[in-house]
Amino acid sequence: MNFDIALLLIQDGLTNGAIYALLALAILLVFAVSRVLYVPQGEFVAFGALTLATLQQAKVPGTAYLVAGIGAVAMVVELVAALRERRRQGLASSALLYVVIPTALLGLAVWLAPQKPPLLVQVLLTLALVVPLGPMTYRLAVQPIANASVLVLLFVAVAVHYALMGLGLVFFGAEGWRTPSFVSAQVALGPMTASAQSLLVIAASAILIVALWQFFGRTLWGKALRATAMNRTGARLVGIPTEASGRLAFTLAALFGAFSGVLIAPFTTIYYDSGFLVALKGFVGAVIGGMTSYPLAALGAVLVGLLESFASFYASAFKEVIVFSLLIPVLLWRSLMSRHVEEEHDE
Amino acid sequence: MTPARIAIAVFVALLAAGPLYLPPFYVTLVNYIGLYSLVALGLVLLTGIAGLTSFGQAAFVGVGAYATAVASVSFGLSPWLGLPVGLALTAAVAVILGGLTLRLSGHYLALGTIAWGISLSYVFGNVEGLGGFNGISNIPPLPLFGAAIQTAQDFYYLIWACVLLALAALVNLLNSRPGRAIRALRNAAMAESFGVNTAWLKLVVFVYAALLAGLAGWLHAHYLRFVNPGPFGVGYSIEYLFMVVVGGAAHVWGAIVGAGLITALKTWLQDILPKLFGSSGQFEVIVFGVLIILLLQHAGGGIMARVVRLFPPKRAAAIAPEAAPGLPRRAAPARGEAILEVDKAYKAFGGLVAVNGVSFEVRAGEIMGLIGPNGAGKSTMFNLITGALPLGGGEVRFRGERIDRLAARQIVRRGIARTFQHVQLRPTMTVLENAAIGATLRGRSGVAPATLRLDRAEERAILFEAARHLRRAGLGDHLYEAAGSLALGQQRIVEIARALAADPVLLLLDEPAAGLRYQEKQALAALLRALREEGMSILLVEHDMDFVMGLVDRLVVMDFGERIAGGAPEAVQADPRVIEAYLGAAS
């Protein structure tokens, strides 16, 4: 390997690593707030990429119908729950979230898609279409058993992954898509030339990560999420509703997932079932961060990206084996660090 | 015959006659159900009972299948040799993987197994010697006295013989000394305090489940006579877990019910869904996903939990015998010997000094009370003696030997048994089985003898001993009820009986009278006095002054982490510092 190839691999690794970092942070956020190991994060990546790809062909993406359909189901569930609890409170905002907005989005998509709007509008529409699936997932799958054990929540997460993946097949088909690059220029950076597309991805990820950091530090809702993550009961006692925190965490995770999908779409062909593997690399990053540390998780995800890039050069057939085997030394290290007897209160 | 036995007999009869009335397609289907049931049985033990999740079971099936494929095709070994080779390899992989992750929280095991499951399916697909994505074909059938086990019918009997044997073995295991320890694994601290090495036992359970998967792999390879990476991916691992969740994770028959239902449903959905959607693809995953979500939300426990609720078993699995030879007992110390010496014990949590230089001793054959107002450091002191917390300074000696650096399971081995302030019983196990956990260290039978039912003499002795202590404590009428169905006060008594079953020299009781009614307190006091008469030493941490004062020989009073008084109850009651600590300063 010469210097140029090494630089190229590093550039590749950093680009993928930046995307994995977004996913690692989303997975960490969801786990901290709701204790759900968010396996379906990958589906949001695939939905983001495929929605954008469909819009670029001037067609109405399946997500538009999916959001309207799942929204309707969520509304029915919400109505039944309200009827049983004899309450009216919250129904208006539910109707807005589950019916009005999805219907409006469907209308928008049907109207805009054939006109082939500029790229930025396509990206925004993609995010708008995919993100509502986050809070809907929380409402339908997680909220009814939010207090179950981590293990049961993990089963739910896997089941959601299955359901969303199957729906992805119905609404997007079995064909894979790769979108054209957003920008095609090459930028000279000292001794190397980098593709502007890679720089764009890294910059966009960095901006989103900083935004999340600011959100946690500066806003009331960000602090509420941190409080819920630290102590759920305590947070509820001071008036932070667990449901709202969960919904918000799932919304943010959906945003990060869909955005990752948009970013990754020009680099690799995405199929309806491609998300799982991509998100698992985010998981590896999150585990490196001990499922608690955001900076370590982001760093771990970048490490995963770099390792993957070099592995694909040296032993491309074993790329995935090498990346996932990275978990073994990490787990060994964590295992040696842990001293206490683990107490599981799962009944 | 009980309804359960009749149902099982009918099932086995229908199964045995299967090839006579089933069309070939269904024989194949039932064969697959049998293979999946084997894997699911392992998951019932691992996930439903021990509370550990593995997303790597399909990969273990793959290890078993590929090992025998390579052994018989590439090396020309007998297919029968492929079984031990595959099982050895499976066990080795499971030991490495389990050793890495089992000490961490459960979700690390889940994530670790997902990652390893994916890695392994790529290894299967990319290694030259394993045939790449095309796999290995021409695997020989199983030779048998000049003939061969090779048709679907042949394998039907072999597969289901394996399933029923594995099921019987698992039932035997669960109803035994190691089985009770496995069922206690979710209360790791409790299990450790009765001598269970939980880390080791978790590994044993993980390997046991992996071996069942490896066996399924061996059958798979010689039945289909072809292996490729497809059936060993993470998707199949998830499906195995779904089978267990649907069937009922806490019940051995849940494995077969779940495997049957999911397999039948999948076959049926794969048939009709493509017609509905007008194209082919894995649409059944939507139905499975939604089904599992609804099931977890509305009927946790799966189908077998429902069945057991509808038809509760008439007879408990573990029954105490009328008589049995006694278990070996520990030599008792001479009355009056100082058996527990706490010497300047010190413990701080950050800046908070919870126990500050406290010293006292407990003598053989006496009841010693440790009292003090809330926050005095009593519970911390208790945890220092039992090994639940490491000591910050000073020493704790038991019969002359330092025990403050020992783990809880080593302390109980020396003759100290404890109860818990927050009751730690397994709510679904019977009262008798809970008490029998206490006698874990007094038996020797491991997993293998328990599986083969070679442990029955010892088992009778253990159950008899547990029942003896329960009857003595006044719970003789409740032996076969689920521990979780008792009142809280009774549950505390079960904890005491469990501790007594360990044959301790010293009994440590953490607030045993909390939640008891007046008569129950009287009965408890009478029991403790009778134990003292027999030479038992008791250290009692308690809030209830009336209960303590009439019972104990000596008292130690703690306040703000320090010992403020000690001696006979009357003297302590008159001590002005004690009065001040409890009632505030009389200024």
pLDDT, tens only, A54-79: 998 888 888 899 999 999 999 999 89
Task: State the nearest Cα–Cα gap between B113 and chain A, in angstroms.
Answer: 10
Residue in chain B lying closest to A287 (CA):
B108
Across the interface, whether the CB atoms of B296 and A159 are under 8 A apart is answered: yes
- Tokens, residue B443: 């038996």
Q: Which residue of A has its CA nearest to B277?
A: A170
Task: State which residue of chain B sits closest to A344, comparing Cα positions.
Answer: B186
Q: What is the CATH number of domain B421-503?
A: 3.40.50.300
Whether the CB of A329 is below 8 Å from some CB of chain B: the reply is: no
Whether residue B351 has pLDDT greater than 90: no
CB of B405 within 8 Å of a chain A CB? The answer is no
Q: Does A324 touch chain B (CB under 8 A)?
A: yes
Region B334-344 average pLDDT? 88
Distances (CA, A) of A275 to A40, A165, A339: 8, 9, 35
**Which chain A residue shows the shortest CA-CA distance from B294?**
A141
User: How many CB atoms lie under 10 A from the CB of residue B396?
Assistant: 22
Long-range contact pairs involving B374-379 (C-beta distance under 8 Å, separation at least 24): B375/B560, B376/B558, B376/B559, B376/B560, B376/B561, B376/B581, B377/B347, B377/B558, B377/B560, B377/B561, B378/B541, B378/B558, B379/B421, B379/B510, B379/B541
Check residue B585 and give its pLDDT: 60
Q: Quick one: which of B99, B101, B72 has its CA closest to B86?
A: B72
The range of the structural domain enclosing residue A146 comes to: 3-337
Cβ–Cβ contact A327 with B under 8 A? yes
Instruction: Give the closest of A155, A162, A284 to B296, CB-based.
Output: A155
Q: 10 Å Cβ neighbour count for A76?
A: 12
pLDDT band at residue B1 under the 50/70/90 scheme = low
Question: Exposed, middle or buried, A281 (CB in 10 Å: 0-12/13-18/19+)?
Answer: buried
| SS (HEC) of B103-133 | CCCHHHHHHHHHHHHHHHHHHHHHCHHHCHH
Among B54, B119, B405, which would you mutate to test the A interface (most chain A Cβ atoms within 10 Å of its Cβ)?
Answer: B119
Q: How far is CA A333 from CA A281, A338, A341, B100, in A?
A: 19, 9, 17, 9
- The answer, yes or no, to whether residue B278 has pLDDT greater than 80, is no
d(CA A338, CA B478): 40
CB pairs under 8 A between A and B: 150
Amino acid, single-letter form, for residue A283: F
**Distance between CA atoms of residues B110 and B112, nearest Å:** 5
Region B320-335: mean pLDDT is: 83
pLDDT at B210 over 60: yes
Domain spans of chain B, in order of start: 3-310, 334-415+504-587, 421-503
Is residue A345 one of the residues assigned to a domain? no
Touching check for A169 and chain B: CB below 8 Å? yes
Interface check for B283 against chain A (CB to CB < 8 A): the answer is yes
Q: Does the residue A65 lie in any domain?
A: yes
The per-residue pLDDT for range B88-134, each reduced to its tens digit, is 999 999 998 888 778 776 677 888 888 888 888 888 888 877 877 78
Taking CA–CA distances from A175, the nearest residue in chain B reads B281
Helices (H), chain A: 3-34, 41-56, 62-85, 91-95, 101-112, 119-130, 133-137, 150-172, 196-218, 220-230, 232-237, 242-264, 275-288, 294-314, 319-325, 327-337
- Closest Cα of chain B to A194: distance in Å? 32
Confidence of residue B166 (pLDDT cuts 50, 70, 90): very high
Q: Taking the domain B334-415+504-587, which CATH number applies?
A: 3.40.50.300
Residue-level pLDDT at A344: 40
Residue B111 near chain A (CB below 8 Å): yes
Q: Parallel, antiparallel, or unpaired: how do β-strands B226-227 and B338-349 relate?
A: unpaired
Contact A341 B238 (CB under 8 A): no
Q: DSSP code of A139? A: I
pLDDT of amino acid B586 = 54
- List CB contacts of A107: < 8 A, sequence separation 6 or more: none
Residues paired with B427 in a beta bridge = none
Query: Does A89 contact B at CB distance below 8 Å?
Result: no
Q: Which CATH architecture has domain B3-310?
A: Orthogonal Bundle (1.10)
Distance (Å, rounded) from C-alpha B309 to C-alpha B303? 10
Q: Per residue in A239-274, is it b (16+ CB within 10 Å) or e — as a string?
A: ebebeebbbbbbbbbbbbbbbbbbbbbbbeebbbbb
The residue-averaged pLDDT of B250-254 equals: 90
Which of A 29-58 lie inside 8 A of B, CB atoms? 37
Name every chain B residue with its beta carbon within 8 A of the beta carbon of A277. Answer: 118
Quote the pLDDT of residue A346: 39
pLDDT at A339: 52
Asked if B296's CB is within 8 angstroms of A150's CB, the reply is no
pLDDT attached to residue B570: 85
Mean pLDDT of chain B, nearest integer: 88
B100–A152 CB contact, under 8 Å:
no
Domains contained in chain A, number:
1
pLDDT one-digit tens code per residue, A191-250? 677 788 888 888 888 888 888 888 888 888 888 888 888 777 888 888 888 888 889 999
Tell me if A237 is assigned to some domain: yes
Judged by a CB distance cut-off of 8 A, whether residue A155 touches chain B is yes
Closest approach of chain B CAs to the CA of A165, in angstroms? 8
Distance of alpha carbon B264 from alpha carbon B492, whole angstroms: 47
- B126 — contact with chain A (CB < 8 Å)? yes
- The residue-averaged pLDDT of B554-577 equals 86
A328 near B CB under 8 A: yes
Nearest CA-CA partner of A317 in B27, B294, B126: B126
Rounded to a whole number of angstroms, the distance from the CA of B167 to the nearest CA of chain A is 23
- pLDDT per residue of chain A (347 residues) written in tens, 0 to 9: 677 788 888 888 898 899 999 999 999 889 988 888 899 999 999 999 999 999 988 888 888 999 999 999 999 998 998 898 888 888 888 888 899 999 999 999 889 888 888 889 999 999 999 999 999 999 999 988 888 888 888 889 999 999 999 899 888 888 888 888 777 777 777 767 778 888 888 888 888 888 888 888 888 888 888 888 877 788 888 888 888 888 999 999 999 999 999 988 888 888 888 888 888 889 888 888 877 788 888 898 999 899 888 888 887 778 888 888 877 788 777 777 765 444 444 33
CATH fold match for the domains B334-415+504-587 and B421-503? yes
Kindly tell me if the per-residue pLDDT of B439 is higher than 70.
yes
Chain B hits for A151, Cβ within 8 Å: 47, 51, 53, 106-107, 110
- Give the pLDDT confidence score for residue A280 in this predicted structure: 87
10 Å Cβ neighbour count for B349? 11
